[in-house]
């Protein structure tokens, strides 16, 4: 696994965080691949209402990865049935059209330990993509402008000047989320940028990090 280091700077909004991520790439990257974006799970009713502006469907799953509960969600299932929202489902997830009425039972959804996973993107402004596909920088601009309260993560893989290996090097952007060990966690209103220094640079990493002149957080297990 790579190690990620947070760049400890105030990032008041999503666009300023995106600009800072690109500035770091401009300063430190010899080359960089196209960005890989991913929306995080919807955890709150405010996120759900915002998601409906850009997405037409999503999949409810349990936050801990367990099967969907068989009781305690009667009113939730009634709303799904009454609004003809069901697309497809199994023991672990249920895909639904994002009907406005689902917001009425969101307290039950939270109490039941569910989250809403969003597709890669279903808005009209973007081409069809698979998860882990890259996008253009222009597409990324539109996504970040639309992100609102949603969790959103972007990875740029590339070679960082002065490091002998480029494997798993690059920059990570987290919007309304923070990086923990090997993944992001929701953190509404918090934006962060990280440097990933790869897996084969242990002998030089401390000196390289010092020479960046950046104030950095502790290492976290990364990509």
Tokens 């929701």 — which residue? Answer: 186
Question: For residue 74, what pLDDT is reported?
Answer: 93
Nearest to 21 by CA among 222, 204, 171: 171
What's the number of domains the chain is made of? 2
15 and 51 assigned to the same domain: no
Instruction: Quote the domain boundaries for residue 63.
Output: 45-117
For the chain, helix, strand, coil in percent to 5 are 25, 35, 40
Q: What is the mean pLDDT of residues 177-196?
A: 94
Asked if residue 126 has pLDDT above 60, the reply is no
* Whole-structure pTM value: 0.91
Tokens 């890669």 — which residue? Answer: 120
pLDDT band at 20 (very low <50, low <70, confident <90, very high): very high
Q: What is the mean pLDDT of the chain?
A: 93
59 and 111 assigned to the same domain: yes
Assigned domain for 124 exists: no
Are the C-beta atoms of residues 144 and 173 closer than 8 Å to each other? no
31 and 59 assigned to the same domain: no
143 and 216 assigned to the same domain: yes
Q: What is the mean pLDDT of residues 126-151?
A: 84
Domain boundary among 89, 117, 145: 117
Q: What is the mean pLDDT of residues 4-11?
A: 97
27 and 49 assigned to the same domain: no
Considering only 36-50, 105-119, 125-139, 171-185, which range has the smallest mean pLDDT? 125-139
CATH classification at residue 75 = 3.30.70
The full length of the chain comes to 223
End-to-end distance of the chain based on CA atoms, in angstroms?
6
Question: For residue 133, what pLDDT is reported?
Answer: 84
Two tokens, residue 82 = 């009454």
34 and 51 assigned to the same domain: no
Question: For residue 127, what pLDDT is reported?
Answer: 52
Assigned domain for 28 exists: yes
The H-or-E segment that residue 192 falls in is strand 183-197
DSSP 120: S
164 and 207 assigned to the same domain: yes
Query: Residues 128-147, buried b or exposed e (16+ Cβ, 10 A)?
Result: eeeeeebbeeebbebbbebb
């Amino acid at each position: 696994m790579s190690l990620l280091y947070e760049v400890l700077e105030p990032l008041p909004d999503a666009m300023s965080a995106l600009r800072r991520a690109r500035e770091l790439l401009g300063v430190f990257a010899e080359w960089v691949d196209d960005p890989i974006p991913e929306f995080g799970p919807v955890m709150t009713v405010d996120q759900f209402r915002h998601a409906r502006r850009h997405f037409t469907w999503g999949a409810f799953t349990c936050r801990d990865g367990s099967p969907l509960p068989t009781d305690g969600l009667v009113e939730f299932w009634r709303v799904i049935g009454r609004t003809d929202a069901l697309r497809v489902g199994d023991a672990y997830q249920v895909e639904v059209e994002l009907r406005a009425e689902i917001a009425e039972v969101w307290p039950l959804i939270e109490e039941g330990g569910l989250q809403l996973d969003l597709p890669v993107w279903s808005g009209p402004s973007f081409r069809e993509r698979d998860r882990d596909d890259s996008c253009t920088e222009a597409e990324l601009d539109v996504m970040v402008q639309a992100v609102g309260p949603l969790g959103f993560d972007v990875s740029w893989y590339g070679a960082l000047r002065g490091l002998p290996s480029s494997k798993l090097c690059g920059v990570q952007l987290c919007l309304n989320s923070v990086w923990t060990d090997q993944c992001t966690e929701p953190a509404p209103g918090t934006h962060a940028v990280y440097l990933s220094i790869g897996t084969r640079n242990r002998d030089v990493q401390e000196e390289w990090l010092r020479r960046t002149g950046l104030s950095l957080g502790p290492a976290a297990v990364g990509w």
